[in-house]
């Protein structure tokens, strides 16, 4: 899967189910209603309890104050207690927030009452504890209806119970006070409910925009499809944020980049990638199928900017493995070189054959034989030299082809006498040597042809030993610029003016790194490249 050009938008899924945003809104409102209702209930019960307790305490306090008054104890011993105590009780009712004050005999016969018609009748309620000198507090339904009341004894000088005082506040009065406290509570609850509903609606609207109104089931399916597709494709897919950190990385990208562990959330420089690759990933412009090299692979990199509201939000990077194709291209180039070499040799052979025929027609057969023998010996000498020294057939064919190509381009091609490759050693592949030696020879031939003067020349040494392989290619061209430095083996670096070059030395460096080898560059009056590959037991 490759993404090039404009990033496609996520398709809108039509669904008859409630969206995730709507479900979240309903859940938020339900929770909010339950919490507000629970809070109101708890607050109401607490207010009711505290109001009732305060009414009980107030009734008890007023009853004790009346019982402790000396005039009350004296009045009950007179012939007409009601005449003295009824006006007193009326004044107490006017000065306090109680609903009734009843002063009675120890047997419970009323001396006073808010309703004078009830004076002389028995008090409705429990007075047994008060008759014994204790205190009674209770909720009881009397002549004025349900009330919270307190009954206390009145003692004389000899601490005898001579009367009882009952004081109460009706439940209706308590309910009215409680109602006054509940209305502000309901107002606060309504405000909380309104604010919570508005907040939930705003969150739901934002979530709806972000999820595009998709229901949870479809959203789950989308995620599963996304994961299945993303991690099943062989191509690599990366999302790089504006801060240079990986936002998404599929299995293909991890494999192609040789990453260990999960790179999501890590910065690009922490991944050990080549600087050119990091620059491509964070480039401010779109790039299509750029060729880049890692330590082990040749990659085609395409990048597409992701924009939102006119602002770049990141980059979508797609990677394709070009290693095998590049190898096949190199092998095709080698085959083409061999074909060109054969064509050149055929052309030269035809010229020589015409020369021999012409000498015979001129009646000079001895000169014809001498000419043919000399040319055959020269060609056979080079072939025998290469075949005897190089046991790897692909490498031998490469050297013969390059020799023919150099001859056609007027370059003296020399293979040093110490060139001997009996065994490549375990773990070394012939095609990698073709990549290394072929690119070095091609560059040297081109450099020798561009040389300042004298006959162009290229000298090749290929030697195997106990410590590994040594490949050396020297030319008498213009040499390597002093300011080349590490850029010499960077993709795109070249001394040639035309485009399409700058990959050969990068491929050489990649192959050398894969085997843990080294490249030395030097030379005076030309360039000398020396590659050393240590002997290995297994390929890297």
Look at the alpha carbons of 69, 75, 81, 85 in this order and tell me if their dihedral is positive or negative.
negative
Q: Which of 83-97, 120-134, 156-170, 406-420 has the lowest mean pLDDT?
A: 406-420
426 within 8 A of 459, measured Cβ to Cβ: no
pLDDT at 357 over 70: yes
pLDDT on residue 165: 92
Sheet holding 100-104, edge to edge: 100-104, 161-170, 145-155, 136-142
- How would residue 164 be classed by pLDDT, with cut points 50, 70 and 90? very high
Residues in CB range of 325: below 8 A, 6 or more apart: 298
Please give the average per-residue pLDDT across 113-131, as a whole number.
88
pLDDT at 13 over 60: no
Q: How far apart are CA 532 and CA 425, in angstroms?
A: 13
pLDDT on residue 6: 41
Residues in CB range of 270: below 8 A, 6 or more apart: none
Please give the average per-residue pLDDT across 301-314, as a whole number.
75
Residue 527 three-state SS:
strand
Question: Residue 101: what are its φ and ψ, rounded to 5°?
Answer: -130, 115
Q: Which of 303-312, 381-390, 431-440 has the lowest mean pLDDT?
A: 381-390
- How would residue 505 be classed by pLDDT, with cut points 50, 70 and 90? confident
Q: How far apart are CA 321 and CA 241, in angstroms?
A: 23
480 within 8 A of 474, measured Cβ to Cβ: no
> Which of the residue ranges 88-92, 214-218, 269-273, 508-512 has the most confident prediction, judged by mean pLDDT?
88-92
- How would residue 153 be classed by pLDDT, with cut points 50, 70 and 90? very high
Burial annotation 73-112 (CB, 10 A radius, 16+ → b, else e): bebbeeeebbebbbebbeebbeebebbbbbbbbbebebbb
Size (the chain), residues: 540
pLDDT on residue 539: 45
Please give the average per-residue pLDDT across 48-62, as a whole number.
85
pLDDT on residue 45: 79
Residue 32 three-state SS:
helix
Residue 16, CA distances (Å) to 28, 58, 81, 204, 218 in order: 21, 63, 84, 18, 11
Three-state SS letters, 368-418: HHHHHHHHHHHHHHHHHHHHHHECCHHHHHHHHHHHHHHHHCCCEEEECCC
- How would residue 36 be classed by pLDDT, with cut points 50, 70 and 90? confident
pLDDT at 12 over 50: no
Residue 77 three-state SS:
coil
pLDDT on residue 486: 63
pLDDT at 463 over 80: yes
Give percent of the chain above pLDDT 90.
2
Q: How far apart are CA 81 and CA 130, in angstroms?
A: 20
Please give the average per-residue pLDDT across 55-79, as a whole number.
87
- In this predicted model, what pLDDT tens digit does every residue of 388-412 receive, in sequence order? 667 777 777 778 778 877 877 788 8
Q: How far apart are CA 271 and CA 51, in angstroms?
A: 70
Q: Which of 200-209, 329-338, 352-361 has the lowest mean pLDDT?
A: 329-338
pLDDT on residue 540: 47
- How would residue 21 be classed by pLDDT, with cut points 50, 70 and 90? low
162 within 8 A of 156, measured Cβ to Cβ: yes
- How would residue 217 be classed by pLDDT, with cut points 50, 70 and 90? low
144 CB-contact burial (10 Å; exposed 0-12 / middle 13-18 / buried 19+): buried
pLDDT on residue 2: 39
pLDDT on residue 346: 64
359 within 8 A of 367, measured Cβ to Cβ: yes
pLDDT on residue 8: 42
Tokens describing residue 30: 């339900």
pLDDT at 192 over 50: yes
Tokens describing residue 513: 């790194």
- How would residue 335 be classed by pLDDT, with cut points 50, 70 and 90? low
Average pLDDT score, the chain: 76
Closest CA to 114 of 130, 135, 92: 92
418 CB-contact burial (10 Å; exposed 0-12 / middle 13-18 / buried 19+): exposed
Residue 515 three-state SS:
coil
- How would residue 345 be classed by pLDDT, with cut points 50, 70 and 90? low
Please give the average per-residue pLDDT across 501-527, as a whole number.
78
- How would residue 492 be classed by pLDDT, with cut points 50, 70 and 90? low
- How would residue 15 be classed by pLDDT, with cut points 50, 70 and 90? very low
Please give the average per-residue pLDDT across 354-372, as a whole number.
73
pLDDT on residue 226: 62
CB atoms within 10 A of CB 113: 23
SS3 content of the chain, % helix, strand, coil (to 5): 50, 20, 30
- In this predicted model, what pLDDT tens digit does every residue of 105-114 receive, in sequence order? 988 898 898 8
- Strands (DSSP E) along 283-343, which ranges? 287-293, 298-308, 311-321
The vertex-166 CA angle with 163 and 171, nearest 5°, equals 170
Q: How many CA atoms lie within 13 A of 531 on its CB side?
A: 28
Q: Which of 45-49, 250-254, 287-291, 386-390 has the lowest mean pLDDT?
A: 386-390
pLDDT on residue 1: 37
The DSSP symbol for 259 reads -
- How would residue 152 be classed by pLDDT, with cut points 50, 70 and 90? very high
**In terms of C-beta distances under 8 Å and separation of at least 24 residues, what long-range contacts does 300-303 make, across chains too?**
301/277, 302/2, 302/3, 302/4
pLDDT on residue 3: 41
Residue 493, CA distances (Å) to 484, 508, 514 in order: 9, 13, 21
pLDDT on residue 537: 64
Q: How far apart are CA 137 and CA 56, in angstroms?
A: 7
Angle between helices 430-449 and 323-361 (to 10 degrees): 60
- In this predicted model, what pLDDT tens digit does every residue of 408-448 receive, in sequence order? 778 888 888 888 877 666 667 777 778 888 888 888 888 88
């Amino acid at each position: 899967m490759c993404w090039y050009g404009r990033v496609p938008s996520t398709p809108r899924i039509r669904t008859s189910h409630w969206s995730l945003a709507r479900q979240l809104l309903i859940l938020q409102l339900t929770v909010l209603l339950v919490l507000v209702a629970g809070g109101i209930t708890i607050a109401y019960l607490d207010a009711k309890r505290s109001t009732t307790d305060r009414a009980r305490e107030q009734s008890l306090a007023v009853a004790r104050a009346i019982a402790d008054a000396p005039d009350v104890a004296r009045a009950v011993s007179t012939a007409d207690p009601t005449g003295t105590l009824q006006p007193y009780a009326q004044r107490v009712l006017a000065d306090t927030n109680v609903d009734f004050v009843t002063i009675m005999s120890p047997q419970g016969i009323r001396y006073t009452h808010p309703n004078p018609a009830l004076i002389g009748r028995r008090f409705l309620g429990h007075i047994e504890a008060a008759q014994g000198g204790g205190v009674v507090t209770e909720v009881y339904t009397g002549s004025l209806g349900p009330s919270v009341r307190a009954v206390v004894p009145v003692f004389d000088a000899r601490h005898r119970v001579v009367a009882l005082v009952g004081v109460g506040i009706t439940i209706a009065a308590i309910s009215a006070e409680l109602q006054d406290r509940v209305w502000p509570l309901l107002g606060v609850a309504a405000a909380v409910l309104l604010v919570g509903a508005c907040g939930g609606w705003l969150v739901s609207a934002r979530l709806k925009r972000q999820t595009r109104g998709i229901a949870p089931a479809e959203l789950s399916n989308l995620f599963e499809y996304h994961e299945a597709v993303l991690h099943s494709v062989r191509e690599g897919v990366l999302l790089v944020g504006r801060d240079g950190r990986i936002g998404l990385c599929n299995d293909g990208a991890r494999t192609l980049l040789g990453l260990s562990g999960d790179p999501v959330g890590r910065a690009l420089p922490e991944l050990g990638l080549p600087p050119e690759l990091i620059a491509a990933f964070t480039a401010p412009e779109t790039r299509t199928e750029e060729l880049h090299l890692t330590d082990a692979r040749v990659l085609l990199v395409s990048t597409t900017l992701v924009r939102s509201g006119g602002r770049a939000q990141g980059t979508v990077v797609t990677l394709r493995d070009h290693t095998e194709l590049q190898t096949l291209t190199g092998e095709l180039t080698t085959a083409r070189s061999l074909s060109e070499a054969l064509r050149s040799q055929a052309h030269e052979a035809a010229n020589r054959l015409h020369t021999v025929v012409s000498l015979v027609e001129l009646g000079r057969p001895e000169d014809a034989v001498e000419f043919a023998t000399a040319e055959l010996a020269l060609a056979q000498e080079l072939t025998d030299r290469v075949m005897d020294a190089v046991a790897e057939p692909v490498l031998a064919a490469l050297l013969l082809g390059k020799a023919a190509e150099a001859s056609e381009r007027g370059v003296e091609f020399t293979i040093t006498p110490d060139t001997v490759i009996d065994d490549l050693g375990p773990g070394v592949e012939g095609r990698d040597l073709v990549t290394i030696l072929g690119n070095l020879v091609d560059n040297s031939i081109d450099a020798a042809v561009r040389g300042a003067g004298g006959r162009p020349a290229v000298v090749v040494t290929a030697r195997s030993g106990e410590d590994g392989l040594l490949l050396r290619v020297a030319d008498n061209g213009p040499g390597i610029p002093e300011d080349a430095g590490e850029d010499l083996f960077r993709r795109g670096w070249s001394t040639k003016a035309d485009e399409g070059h700058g990959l050969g030395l990068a491929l050489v460096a990649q192959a050398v790194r894969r085997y843990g080898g080294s490249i030395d560059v030097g030379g005076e009056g030309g360039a000398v490249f020396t590659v050393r590959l240590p002997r290995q037991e297994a390929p890297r």
